[in-house]
Structure 1
Amino acid sequence: MVPSRPPLSNTLSSVNITFLGTASAQPSSTRNHSSLALRLGGDVWLFDCGEATQHQIQKSTVKAGKIKKIFITHTHGDHIFGLLPLLCSRLNGAGGAVEDAQDPRLREDPARWQDPLEIYGPLGTRAYVRNGLAYTYSLLEHPYVVHELRFTHDPPEGDYTALPRHRSESPNGRNIIQVDGVWPDIYKDPLVSVSAAPILHSIPSVGFVILEAPVPGKMDPKKYIPALKRTKTPMSTMSRLQQGDSVELSDGTVLHGPARRPGRKVVILGDTHDPSPISGLAADADLLIHEATNAHLPGIDSNTKDDDTFESVEARTKSRGHSTPQMAGTFAKRVGAKKLVLNHFSARYAGNDHVDEEARTVMMAIKNLAMQEFGGEVICARDFMSLDIELRNEPAEV
C-alpha cells in the first residue's frame, strides 16, 4: 500500500500508548469506554473510539489534530459510539443542510481526497459512519476514508448500505480480503506496518499488530573513525554506516555498518474469549494489550458470589465472549510477549487505584492472577495511563 505521506525521518523517535478508556460495556466514574492512542513519533493512531472519547482526548496529552488513523476492533457500541462525534470535531464538521453551490466543501474535487483521515474496521464500519453522518446532516471540511477488513463469510464487494457515498467520504476505501486467515500489511510505510487477524468474540472482532521496521543497530564510532581518517573519507559517511550500509573506501577497505535490529512490536486485541488466530502475528510482542473483563476475587471483591469458583467465573466470562486475567496471562506466555497490559475491565473494578487503597487492592489481585499464568511483567491499565515502548536492548557492535 502507498503511505498517505512519506515519513519525516528514517526511524521513529518514540512509540507511546495512552489509554483513553479502559471500561467494558458500561462506563463508570473512574473508567471511560474503550479507546487508546498510539503515538508514533508525531502522529496519533486511535484504537477503538467509545462514547466520550473526544472528551477524554481533551483531558489528556493527546492532540486531536495529530490523529491520522482510527482502527476499530469490532462494532459493539462501547467501542464505536464515539467515532462520529470525533470525526465531526477532528474534520471540522458542521450540522445542518447547506446548498451545494454555497459550500465549497461539497465540491467533487479529486485533490481533496488526498491525505484523508483513515478508518479501518470490520464489515459495517463504513455503513455506520456513512449513515450516521447522513442522518445527522453532518458536513465535514476534510475527507475521511473507510477500509473494511472482510472476513471469509463476508461479501467481498459492496458497502453494506443503500446510501450513496457521503460527500466527504473518499472513494478510495478498500475491502481487504483475508490471506491465509489473516490480513497482512493492511498499512505499510518505510517505518511501520499494521497487520490484523480475527479473534473470537460474540461478534466479528479483530486484533491488530503494529510492527516497526528494523532499526539501526548500535555502533561504536571508534571502530570506523581511524579508517575514515586514513583514507580522508568525509565523516558524513558515518550516517550511512549507522543505517547498516557497507561503504568501500578509496584504498579498497570495506566497512560494514552494524546489522539492523528488530523493531518494536505492539499487539492490541479487541474483545475476545480466544485470540488464537492472531498467535502467529503476535509472537514475540514487546507489548500485548489483552482484555480481562471479569475475575474471581473471593475475600477481596465484595461482589463475589458465594457459590462462584475460578472455573465458573471463567465459564461465564467466556460465554459472553470475554476473558479473565488468567486467560490473558496464558495467551501472553503462549506468544512470548515481553510485557502484558490488562484492559477492558468490568465497571465494578474502579480505575482509581493510584489514589484509592481499596481499588489498589482489587487491581493488584487481578494483576497477580495474570502473573501466575504469564510469569512476566503485568500492568493493569487505567484511564490516562501512558506507557513508552522502548527500543529493544541489544549490545553495541564491537
Structure 2
Amino acid sequence: MAPQLLSSVNITILGSASAQPSSTRNHSALALRLNGDVWLFDCGEATQHRIQKSNVKMGKIKKIFITHTHGDHIFGLLPLMASCLDGSGGMMDYSKDARLQPDAREEIQPLEIYGPLGTRAFIRTGIVYSYTNLGAQYVVHELRLPTDPPEGDFTTLPMRWPEQPGRNIVQTNGIWKDIFRDEIVSVSAASIRHSVPCIGFVVDELPIPGKINPKDYVPHLKRTNTPMSVMKQLQQGMSVELADGTVLFGPPRRPGRKLAILGDTCDPSPIADLAADADLLVHEATNAHLPGIDPNTKPEDSNESVEARTRSRGHSTPQMAGAFGKRTRAKKLLLNHFSARYAGNDDVDEEARKIMEAIRELAMQEYDGPVVCARDFMSFDVELQS
C-alpha cells in the first residue's frame, strides 16, 4: 500500500511578540498544520484565546513542541492542556470522577509534548497545585543535554494518571535525531544559543514520489494491454514488469518540504547543518536599529550597539536572522518574536507598515531570498518546490 502523503502544510502565527504582549501581538505560538493534524510550537500566555479567534481547531492539536521554558513561550501551556484534555476542578470527591480512573479513555492517543529539561516538572507541578483534573492522557518527552541528569523527572512530585511515561531523549553529537518519525514526516532538533537552554526544531517531510510523465509509460502499457491502474504503482516509484518482460521503473522520489522552526537565539550555529536548505526558516528578530523610522530609537545607538545589546540578552537582529538564512540556504525566511514596541497591525496601520518594512529590508541586506515579517493570525501554505 502506498504511504500517505501530505496534501497540505500550513503555518499559522498565533503570537509573534517577545517578552511582553501588546495590543497587536500575543506571546509566542505557531501552529503547523499537517493535513488535518495541528502541531504547536511554543505556547505563550493566552494562546488558547488566539486559537479561538483563528482557523486552527483546538481539537486537532496532537503535539506541542516547547523551545524553552521562558514564560513568554510556556505560560499558556497549562490552560491550553486543560481545554484540550477536558480538564475540570472543584469536585469534592475526586474518586467519583470516572475520567480519572486508569482504564478511562485508554483508546485515545495521548497529547505529546516535547521540551527541554523542566518541561515535565512545570506541567506536573502546575496541574497538581491548581487542582486541575484532566480527562485525557498526555505524555512529556524531555530533550536532555549532556549536562542534564541522565535519568529522573527533575521533580519530587510523582507521576499520576492521566500522565503517561515519557522519554528522556539524550543528544548524540549535539543533535536529537528523529525525536518523532512516521512514514510521512520526521522531527529532529538541536540546541541553539540563548540565555537559557533552548531548542530549534526541524520538520522534514520524507521523500515524496517524483513527477511522472505519462508519455514515458502509456505507450508501453497500451502495447502490452496492461491496465492503466498500474500508473499508481509507477507514481510511487515502484517497478512494474509487463507481459513481454519489459520492466518499467517509476521516477525516483524527490525531497519533501522542510521547515526549521527556531526558538530564541543569538547564535543558532549548532543547528545549521540540520536546518540546511529549509523551505521555510522561522527565526527571531527581536530588536532592530531604525533611525528616522522608529520614534523609540535612541540617538546614541547604532547597528553595532543594538546588535551587541540584543546578543547580550540572547536574541537576534534582522541582519543576524538574514545572515543565518543565507548561511543555511533557506528558501524563505519568516522573521518572528518582535519587541512589543513594533506594532503587529502593519496590514492596517501605515506607521507600523513602515517599521516592519524597514525590519524586512534589514534582513534582506544579508539574505537575498523572500522575507516575511510575522503578524498574528497570518496564515500561509508551504508549497512543494517544483
Give the TM bin, normalised by the shorter chain. over 0.9
Aligned pairs (5 A) from 1:107-126: 107-109=101-103, 112=106, 115-126=109-120
Give % identity.
70
Q: CA deviation at 1:110?
A: 8.7
Is 1:339 the equivalent of 2:332? Answer: yes
Is 1:184 the equivalent of 2:177? Answer: yes
Is 1:140 the equivalent of 2:140? Answer: no
Is 1:215 the equivalent of 2:224? Answer: no
Given that 2:64 and 2:114 are in contact with CA atoms closer than 8 Å, whether structure 1 keeps it comes out as yes
Q: CA deviation at 1:170?
A: 0.8
1:183 aligned partner, one-letter code: W
Residue-by-residue CA offset, 1:24-79 (whole Å, 9 max, x unaligned): 00000000000000000110000000000000000000000000000000000000
Is 1:65 the equivalent of 2:52? Answer: no
Secondary structure in structure 1 of the residue aligned to 2:120: helix
Given that 2:98 and 2:104 are in contact with CA atoms closer than 8 Å, whether structure 1 keeps it comes out as no
User: Which residue does the alignment assign to 1:293?
Assistant: 286
User: Which residue does the alignment assign to 1:89?
Assistant: 83
Aligned pairs (5 A) from 1:5-20: 10-20=4-14
Given that 1:57 and 1:64 are in contact with CA atoms closer than 8 Å, whether structure 2 keeps it comes out as yes
Aligned pairs (5 A) from 1:98-113: 99-109=93-103, 112=106
Q: CA deviation at 1:259?
A: 1.1
Residue-by-residue CA offset, 1:231-269 (whole Å, 9 max, x unaligned): 222221111100011111111101111111100000000
1:55, 1:9 → 2: CA distance? 36
When residues 40 and 8 of structure 1 are mapped into structure 2, their CA distance, relative to the original with a 3 A threshold, is farther
Q: Alignment partner for residue 368 of structure 1, among 361, 366, 377?
A: 361
Residue-by-residue CA offset, 1:246-300 (whole Å, 9 max, x unaligned): 1111111011111111000000000000000000100001000000000000010
2:160 aligned partner, one-letter code: H
1:96, 1:190 → 2: CA distance? 43
Is 1:170 the equivalent of 2:164? Answer: yes
When residues 8 and 360 of structure 1 are mapped into structure 2, their CA distance, relative to the original with a 3 A threshold, is farther
5+ residue gaps in structure 1? Answer: 1-6, 394-398
User: Which residue does the alignment assign to 2:246?
Assistant: 253
2:104, 2:21 → 1: CA distance? 41
Given that 1:133 and 1:166 are in contact with CA atoms closer than 8 Å, whether structure 2 keeps it comes out as no
User: Which residue does the alignment assign to 1:329?
Assistant: 322
Aligned pairs (5 A) from 1:215-234: 215-234=208-227
TM-score by length of 1: 0.95
Is 1:80 the equivalent of 2:74? Answer: yes
Aligned length: 386
Q: Alignment partner for residue 229 of structure 2, among 226, 232, 236?
A: 236
TM-score by length of 2: 0.98
User: Which residue does the alignment assign to 1:40?
Assistant: 34
When residues 204 and 113 of structure 1 are mapped into structure 2, their CA distance, relative to the original with a 3 A threshold, is farther
1:370 aligned partner, one-letter code: A
Secondary structure in structure 1 of the residue aligned to 2:299: coil
1:157, 1:321 → 2: CA distance? 28
1:218 aligned partner, one-letter code: K
Q: CA deviation at 1:188?
A: 0.2
Given that 1:97 and 1:137 are in contact with CA atoms closer than 8 Å, whether structure 2 keeps it comes out as no
Secondary structure in structure 2 of the residue aligned to 1:146: strand
2:97 aligned partner, one-letter code: D
1:159, 1:22 → 2: CA distance? 31
1:180, 1:247 → 2: CA distance? 42
Residue-by-residue CA offset, 1:145-176 (whole Å, 9 max, x unaligned): 000000111011111111111321012x0000
Q: CA deviation at 1:19?
A: 0.2
2:239 aligned partner, one-letter code: S
1:59, 1:373 → 2: CA distance? 35
Given that 1:201 and 1:272 are in contact with CA atoms closer than 8 Å, whether structure 2 keeps it comes out as yes
Secondary structure in structure 2 of the residue aligned to 1:147: strand
